[in-house]
Amino acid sequence: DADVTQTPRNRITKTGKRIMLECSQTKGHDRMYWYRQDPGLGLRLIYYSFDVKDINKGEISDGYSVSRQAQAKFSLSLESAIPNQTALYFCATSDVTGNTGELFFGEGSRLTVL
């Protein structure tokens, strides 16, 4: 089983719908992240959490919200999806500050908003 698991792997939805992407990890890491990847733009940080009680906005948080339900679970929500949120979304974890810590990514969730 993967150490960082994302569900769903693929989702097609319509504009205005609420969508939740879920991430769970078995690595025991405190730090969890949500990124989106677009062609030509690379990976951009949406939200990150350094422990269960900690939530921080990344560079592109508008239109998204997150919930850290437990150390192992971090979900990303799109309250009202729009077409420009069509992208590949990645959850990642790390065990120490990103200064030295390696990021461990999930397999990705491909979201298409029509």
Partner 1 sequence: KNQVEQSPQSLIILEGKNCTLQCNYTVSPFSNLRWYKQDTGRGPVSLTIMTFSENTKSNGRYTATLDADTKQSSLHITASQLSDSASYICVVSVRTGANNLFFGTGTRLTVIP
Give the residues lining the site for partner 1 (CB under 8 A): 4, 40-45, 48, 50, 56, 58-59, 90, 92, 97-100, 102-103, 105-108
Nearer to partner 1, 85 or 106 (CB): 106
Nearer to partner 1, 17 or 111 (CB): 111
Q: Smallest distance from the beta carbon of 91 to partner 1, in angstroms?
A: 8
Nearer to partner 1, 47 or 72 (CB): 47
Length of the chain: 114
* Residue 62: both structure tokens together: 């508008």
Q: Smallest distance from the beta carbon of 36 to partner 1, in angstroms?
A: 12
* Residue 84: both structure tokens together: 């420009």
SS3 (DSSP) at 84: helix
Distances (CA, A) of 75 to 40, 41, 68: 25, 23, 7
Q: Shortest CA distance to 81 belongs to which of 7, 8, 12?
A: 12
Tokens 């078995």, residue? 26
Main-chain dihedrals φ then ψ at residue 84, nearest 5 degrees: -75, 5
Nearer to partner 1, 50 or 77 (CB): 50
Q: Smallest distance from the beta carbon of 57 to partner 1, in angstroms?
A: 9
Q: Smallest distance from the beta carbon of 68 to partner 1, in angstroms?
A: 15
